[in-house]
Structure 1
């Protein structure tokens, strides 16, 4: 029922009001007695929130309804409201017909596997602990959570400058993407920045651009920054858990470059940064220059967040745009990332120059169609075990093989009948050779799996 990002998919197909009602019933039945709920601006959000809240209440739980709120606002509010769980009703960067339910813990992390399984089991077995007619839970509105989030962002950014209330005085373009990222503009304004917004009106149809903040979807932001005196541009997805960056020249930074810039600023000698297995070598190389290191996780911000709980891990990030500073929160917080990026530029200089210090390596990607993706990946794992030293083979998520010149990764798509193949090396020839090796392994394994 649940993926690492909760329940997500087309409304009326993979997600219905009945699904939301069942999850709502399951939460207090699993012991989560007070539940914070917030939503992105999708048209289906209010109905799903109502269904979820009804389920929580009829099993005796209380609902704190934040209304329209960014996912990191919801995640933060679980702890600050002394709640037991949070639910963000959002499909994040997915298109308008989709919606979803993502569950949060009081420590700011998304529900882990055991917690998701407990809720899913209740739903599958239709096993709920209904309250008596006079013991239904309450539902109360809370419209202060976004303001609390803004105040926390301002305080955090000022701490980076020793707590001084001096204005940053940067010019920033914020592409809200018709989502819930208005808190970013408000926080930057409070910090003294001159803020210009794009697609600032919440609209779950996402008329300004598709919700996912890719380079292709953020061409207007790039143009706006390049044609103005803006210092930096930032873009969010529909629920503002992601943040992508544009430098002062209008160039859209790759996720790996942004990750390396953030990691370099966060880590000192002996520190560790959590990254997924498909992250570029450039991040590890950048950290090695300051005697810091990476620890790899499966792909998914829930796994990166879990890794930031380990001793010595000071930052975690995914190239897709999820950034986590565990000293502040363990949820991916796009507004926090935007404020930290602007503060970093104000302190260290132009973003283009910071990104230029990161090496760029050739990376190759290919998708292989198969209806037996798990069997194919397992077969590839058997083959590489015989060909490569055990220390070079990582099975955290699919199969990752490190070599002297680079790495390749073979993993099953989480949403499509595909095996995804990625290869990276420090030279184009080596990257091509690694991709050829990996795709040959997949082709061979696919033939075997079909027998």
Structure 2
């Protein structure tokens, strides 16, 4: 039921009101109070109603945030002394999708045993419904958005004060992407930054651009930053747990370079940064320069957050745009990342920071198969006799001194993904071909 980001899929097929009702009942078994919110997708209304019904008939009180950013809801769980939080969102997925993601009071998403418990209760109809006079209540969770804004504004002010920079001298364009990330513009405005917004009206159809912020979908943002001579462009996905950026030249910043920028700023000697197994070597090299280290996790922000709980880990991130600042929250917080990046840009232009990194050649492809798990297992077996350091943390990662390759099953599609990177182009190509051959051979043996 649960993938790396909760339950997610097409509305009316994978995600239904019946499923939302069951999840509400399952969460309500042990929760007395639950915070509930959603992104701007219209289908979220019915899903939230069904979810709340399941919670209320379990005797659980529901605090309704309404349409809000995922980190707004996740932060409210601990702030309101609730036992759990639920966000109805499909994040960066297309409009026809929706999803349900569960949160603990620490701001961390449900993972592992917590997800398994919810799934088991649903499979077994193992609920604890209240008597007719024991139902919970639904009340508005007022002020959650303002609390989130105030928290990230305070974090931003501390960073601006630390570098003695004047926010009023900074100009930022925020592309909300018709999602729920307007809190970013609010916080920057509160700091005194000059702010322009794009696509700021929440609309779950995402008419202005696809929800996921990529180089292709952020072309309008890039042009706007260039035309306005702004210092920075910020782009969010539909629920604002992700944040990507455009530098002052109007150039979209690749996720690995943005991760390296945050990592080197947040970490010092002896510190660690958590990132998934498909993270570029540029991050590892950037951390080595300041005496810090990179610790790998499985792909998915829930796994990055799990590792970020460790005392030595001062930051966690994914090149897809999920950034975790464990001293603030274990939820990926796009608005917090945006305010943090704005302070960094006030100290030094983003393009200058990026010039410190030397991106390495990387190759990627996806190979179709109906036997993705078996293919990955066959590759793992084959790698036992191949030179290199082998890790099966998430798929199969073979590391050598000059590069690495990763073979990993897609969590949502009948695909096996192949990635290879090295410090030299020729080596990257050799690793890529080696990994691709291992996969295609396994696919052929298994009959596609």
Q: TM-score range by the shorter chain?
A: over 0.9
Q: CA deviation at 1:3?
A: 1.0
- Distance, in Å, in 2 between the alignment partners of 1:195 and 1:351 is 17
TM-score (structure 1 length as normaliser): 0.97
TM-score by structure 2 length? 0.98
User: What is the rounded CA distance, in whole Å, between the counterparts of 2:86 and 2:422 in structure 1?
Assistant: 40
**Any runs of at least 4 consecutive aligned residues in structure 1 with deviations exceeding 4 A, and if so which?**
162-167
Which of 403, 408, 414 is residue 405 of structure 2 equivalent to? Answer: 408
**2:156 corresponding residue in structure 1:** 157
Q: Which residue in the other structure is 2:416 paired with? A: 419
Partner residue of 2:85?
Answer: 86
- The question of whether the paired residues in 2 share the 8 Å contact of 1:305 and 1:330 is answered with yes
Shift of 1:167: 4.7
Q: Quote how far apart the aligned CAs of 1:166 are.
A: 7.4
Q: Where do 1:159-238 residues align within 5 Å?
A: 159-162=158-161, 167-169=166-168, 170-238=170-238
Tell me the number of residue pairs that the alignment of Structure 1 and Structure 2 aligns.
447
Contact 1:37–1:63 (Cα < 8 Å) also in 2? yes
Write the mapping of 1:39-438 to structure 2, written as runs, cut at 5 A.
Answer: 39-162=38-161, 167-169=166-168, 170-347=170-347, 349-389=348-388, 392-438=389-435
CA drift at 1:158: 1.5
Matched, 1:443 2:440: yes
State whether residues 4 and 411 of structure 2, in contact with CA within 8 Å, keep that contact through their aligned partners in structure 1. no
Shift of 1:229: 2.1
Equivalent position SS for 1:397:
coil
**1:367 CA drift (Å):** 1.1
For residues 181 and 132 of structure 2, the distance between their equivalents in structure 1, rounded to whole angstroms, comes to: 39
Equivalent pair of 1:379/1:449 in contact (CA under 8 Å): no
Structure 1: distance between partners of 2:303 and 2:286:
22
SS in 1 for 2:364: strand
Report if aligned partners of 1:401, 1:407 keep a CA contact under 8 Å in 2. yes
Contact 1:363 1:422 in 2 (8 A): yes
Q: CA deviation at 1:228?
A: 1.2
SS at 1:387's partner residue?
A: coil
* Secondary structure of the corresponding residue to residue 442 of structure 1: helix
State the alpha-carbon separation in 2 of the partners of residues 276 and 81 from structure 1.
Answer: 31
> SS of the counterpart of 2:167?
coil
CA–CA separation in structure 2 for the residues paired with 1:68 and 1:447: 48
Displacement of 1:370 in angstroms is: 0.7
| Structure 2 residue runs without a partner (length 5+) | none
3-state DSSP class of the match of 1:110?
coil
**Corresponding residue for 2:28?**
28
CA distance in 2, matches of 1:94, 1:437: 32
Cα distance in 2 for partners of 1:307, 1:326 equals 10
Query: How much does 1:448 deviate?
Result: 2.9
- Partners of 2:407 and 2:419 within 8 A in 1: yes
- Judge conservation of contact 2:165–2:346 (CA < 8 Å) in 1: no
**Alignment check: 8 A CA contact 1:324 1:331 kept:** yes
Q: Deviations over 1:211-258 (max 9, x none)?
A: 001110111000000111210000000000000000000000000000
CA contact (8 A) 1:178 1:207 kept: yes
Contact 1:178–1:200 (8 Å) recurs in 2:
yes
Structure 1 unmatched runs, 5+: none
Shift of the alpha carbon at 1:8? 0.6
Distance 1:130 1:165, change over 3 A: farther
Q: Distance in 2 between matches of 1:35 and 1:357?
A: 45
SS of residue in 2 equivalent to 1:127: coil
Distance 1:219 1:444 in 2: 39
CA contact (8 A) 1:158 1:164 kept: no
Deviation at 1:161, TM superposition (A): 3.8
Secondary structure, counterpart of 2:385 in structure 1: helix
Per the alignment, in what secondary structure is the counterpart of residue 227 of structure 1? helix
Alpha-carbon distance in 2 for matches of 1:166, 1:387? 52
**What's the RMSD between the two structures over aligned residues?**
1.3
Name the SS of the counterpart of 1:434 in structure 2.
helix
CA distance in 2, matches of 1:252, 1:164: 25
